[in-house]
Amino acid sequence: MSFRLGLTGSIGMGKSTTARLFAEENCAVWDADAAVHRLYAEGGAAVTPIGTAFSDAVVDGAVSRDRLKKIIAGDAAALKRIEAIVHPLVAADRQEFLAAANADIVVFDIPLLFETGGDAQMDAVACVTVAPEIQRQRVMDRGTMSAAQFETILAKQMPDGQKRARSDYVIVTDTLEHARKQVQAVIRDIRDRLQDA
C-alpha cells in the first residue's frame, strides 16, 4: 500500500514545480487539474453529464471551460451543479491512479485539498508557500490574469497561514534548490516512517 501525500498550496506558490520535484524523486504524482482536463476532453467522462445539464457548455465534443465560466457567472446555482457532476468523477480518477501506482509514495497535487475535505483521505499533507509579494509577482508574470482576477481566486482559497497550520510539512519555494532540499527531506521522513510502521 502506497503512502498518500496530499500536496496543496494557493495560486502562485510553486505547487506544480514542487510536484515535478517529487516526480524526480520517484514518487507517483496525480494532478487534479490534469484529471479535470481529461474529463472535459473529447470522450471524457464529464462531457455527457455536463452536456445534459448545460447543453451549451459542450463544443466539438468537449466541455468548454470558457462556456462554463460564462454559465457560472450568469447562474449562482450552476457551480454547485457542475461540482456535483465533476467531483465524483475526479475522485474515481484519483482512486484508479492510486490502484495502478507502484511507487511507495503517491503525491496528490490538489489545489483545493482542504477546501474540499480531501485531506481526510491522505496519510499526510505538504503545503507549498512563499512570501505574498513573490506569490503575486509570479502570478502577474504569467500574464494570464488581471490583479482583480488574482484577488478573486485568492478570496476563494483558504488563507496560506491556515493551510500551513493544518499541514504536516511546509515547503518554502523561494528558490528551486531550497524547494528540492525540502522535498528530499519530506521523502526521507516518510520513508523512515514507512520502515518503522
Q: Is the pLDDT of residue 168 over 90?
A: yes
Any idea how long the chain is? Answer: 197
Identify the residue whose cell numbers are 497561514.
161
pLDDT tens profile 150-161? 998 888 889 999
pLDDT of residue 76: 82
pLDDT tens profile 17-54? 999 999 999 999 999 999 999 999 999 999 999 999 99
Q: How far apart are the C-alpha atoms of 41 and 65, rounded to whole Å?
A: 10
Q: Is 58 helix (H, G, I), strand (E, B) or coil?
A: strand
Q: Is the pLDDT of residue 197 over 80?
A: no
Tell me the backbone φ, ψ of residue 3, rounded to 5 degrees. -80, 130
pLDDT-based confidence at 1, cuts 50/70/90?
A: confident
Q: Give the residue from 71, 107, 102 showing the smallest Cα distance to 186.
A: 107
Q: Is the pLDDT of residue 104 over 80?
A: yes
Mean pLDDT of the chain: 94
The one-character DSSP state at 81 is H
User: Percent of the chain scored above 70 by pLDDT?
Assistant: 100
Contact between 44 and 55 (Cβ < 8 Å)? no
Structural domains of the chain, ranges and CATH numbers in brackets: 1-27+105-197 (3.40.50.300), 34-102 (no CATH)
pLDDT tens profile 139-148? 999 998 899 9
